[in-house]
Amino acid sequence: MITAKFGGTSLCDASHFQTVREILSRREDRRFVVVSAPGKRFGDDVKITDQLYRCHQEARQGGQVEAAFAPVATRFREIVAGLGLSLDLEEEFRATLWAMERGAGQAFCASRGEYFSARIMAALLDLPFLDPAQCTFFDQSGQFDGEAAQDTLAEKLRGLPGAVMPGFYGGMPDGAVATFSRGGSDISGAILARASGSAVYENWTDVSGVLAADPRVIAAPPPIGTMTYVEVRELAYLGATVLHEDAIYPVKAAGIPIHICNTMDPEAPGTWIVAQAREPAAAIPGLAGRRGYSAIQVEKERSNSEVGYCRKILSCLERNGVPFEHLATGIGSVSLVAQTELLEPHRQQLLSDVEAAVHPDSLQICDGLSMIAVVGRGMAGQPHLASQLFAAVGEAGVNIRLIDQGTKELNIVLGVDDQDYETAMQAIFNSFFPKK
């Protein structure tokens, strides 16, 4: 059995829905399907999910909710008509608009893109429609509960020959709708793959696999043939956008391989993501990066001998709800790296809390950092790779602000100034992926 998830670019209009149907028909064991909301049809188009967020905003501000929802309903009507289906969604459109006008939550509003997309796909494939709002995916605090999701979804699937399920959202214990972060349909697909006992989880998108680098920065990076769960999560965490980082956990627990496929080029080999792989063709199969980081820099003489010093600083971050991603230390200094957008609302309070907690000699937040990670299971025990990496960046005239590497030697993370981000990425790529 195969679970196949299709992203928004694969479902942007009726012709793309037809393409998806053709792909699914090529294998009888593709019986479980997860769909995203329709994405952009052209450059200036609006994603359905973005329009639904606007509907919620209009409702909160007492604005024109009906006018904001009209393009959503029209888009789905056009898809239904283009597919020649007899499916009538008008009553559900009215019910959705009624709920929005009466203060439905943001999660409910945003989820309707996936909901209607799945209703259409279920009709097109003549498969049962499965509403994840009726399955407990989240606990009462809104955090994903993997075991509850597995149990309730497996119960819903019992006896079904297949099913079409919307991605991106699920239910809370009280029946309310909750959503994953953007791109969360990948997680929904992984949950369904595990609950259905699928042998493979296919993730269909608009690129032919996981690319070795960001194509917005590096021209025509090659796809990666095979990766491990750990490698792809490292890349996804720091910016690789093909697969949501949290989609790994459900399938990893069940040992289900992920196959990244291209809807527009179904015959392309794509990328296989597995638990274990043979020796890699390259020590570094890929690199990823992201702008928008800040470093919280704390300095204090003899802090290295102060028991509980780092714990006090980390407690300040916890109290303010700020997660950190990297930690670098020296004699008398600690630097914690966090995403600027998550740090910003708490900046002043966090500085005050750290000042009160450890009485530092110096305390500041440095903005404008970009983080770049080179990832690969072949890096372990290869001392020349670090020198090659640093030489590439240095020869490009880029100053390294921060270095982080775990003991498993799976990656090396560099912090550089935002203005040097693309230069550093290109230099690293040219060094490890030379033109043939």
pTM: 0.85
Q: What is the pLDDT of residue 20?
A: 97
Q: Give the pLDDT band (50/70/90) at residue 142.
A: confident
Q: Is pLDDT of 281 > 70?
A: no
pLDDT at 236 over 80: no
pLDDT tens for each residue of 78-95: 999 999 999 999 999 999
Predicted confidence band of residue 215 (pLDDT cuts 50, 70, 90):
confident
pLDDT at 203 over 70: yes
pLDDT above 60 (res 280): no
pLDDT digits (tens, 9 = 90+) for 15-70: 999 999 999 999 999 999 999 999 999 989 999 999 999 999 999 998 999 999 99
pLDDT computed for residue 436 by the predictor: 63
* 369-383 residue pLDDT tens: 999 988 877 676 777
Q: Given the structure tokens 């200036």, which residue do they identify?
A: 44
pLDDT score recorded for residue 265: 94
Task: Determine the pLDDT at residue 422.
Answer: 96
Tell me which residue has tokens 């015959």.
267
Query: pLDDT band at 141, cuts 50/70/90?
Result: confident
Q: Please, which pLDDT band fits residue 159 given cuts at 50, 70 and 90?
A: confident
pLDDT digits (tens, 9 = 90+) for 411-433: 889 999 999 999 999 999 999 88
Domains of the chain as residue ranges with CATH: 2-274 (3.40.1160.10), 286-432 (3.30.2130.10)
pLDDT of residue 165: 97
**409's tokens:** 């030697």
pLDDT score at 276: 79
In angstroms, rounded to a whole number, what is the distance separating the alpha carbons of residues 29 and 3? 9
- Percent of the chain, pLDDT > 70? 96
The confidence band for 197, taking pLDDT boundaries of 50, 70 and 90, is: very high
Mean pLDDT of the chain: 91
Mean pLDDT of 9-13: 94
> Is residue 407's pLDDT more than 70?
no
Q: How confident is the model at residue 434 (pLDDT cuts 50, 70, 90)?
A: confident
3-state secondary structure the chain: CEEEEECHHHHCCHHHHHHHHHHHHCCCCEEEEEECCCCCCCCCCCCHHHHHHHHHHHHHCCCCHHHHHHHHHHHHHHHHHHHCCCCCCHHHHHHHHHHHHCCCCHHHHHHHHHHHHHHHHHHHHCCCECCHHHCECECCCCCECHHHHHHHHHHHHCCCCCEEEECCEEECCCCCEEECCCCCHHHHHHHHHHHCCCCEEEEEECCCCCECCCCCCCCCCCECCEEEHHHHHHHHHCCCCCCCHHHHHHHHHHCCCEEEEECCCCCCCCEEEECCCCCCCCCCCEEEEEEEEEEEEEECCCHHHCCCHHHHHHHHHHHHCCCCCEEEEECCEEEEEEEHHHHHHHHHHHHHHHHHHHCCCEEEEEEEEEEEEEECHHHCCCHHHHHHHHHHHHHCCCCEEEEECCCCCCEEEEEEEHHHHHHHHHHHHHHHCCCC
What integer is the mean pLDDT of 393-409? 86
d(C-alpha 286, C-alpha 357), whole Å: 40
Predicted confidence at residue 245, as pLDDT, reads 78
Q: Is the pLDDT of residue 182 over 90?
A: no
* Residue 405 or 71, more confident: 71
Instruction: For residue 361, name the pLDDT band (cuts at 50, 70, 90).
Output: very high
pLDDT band, very low/low/confident/very high, at 319 (cuts 50, 70, 90): very high
Tens-place pLDDT, residues 245-265 = 788 888 988 899 999 999 999
The predicted pLDDT at position 239 comes to 66
Least reliable range by pLDDT among 3-7, 127-131, 213-217: 213-217
Q: pLDDT band at residue 267, thresholds of 50, 70 and 90?
A: very high
pLDDT recorded at residue 31: 94
- Helices 146-157 and 185-195 sit at what angle, rounded to 10 degrees? 60
Query: Region 335-351: what's the mean pLDDT?
Result: 95
pLDDT of res. 174: 87
* Mean pLDDT of the region 313-317: 95
Q: Which of 356, 411, 361, 354 is nearest to 382 (CA)?
A: 411
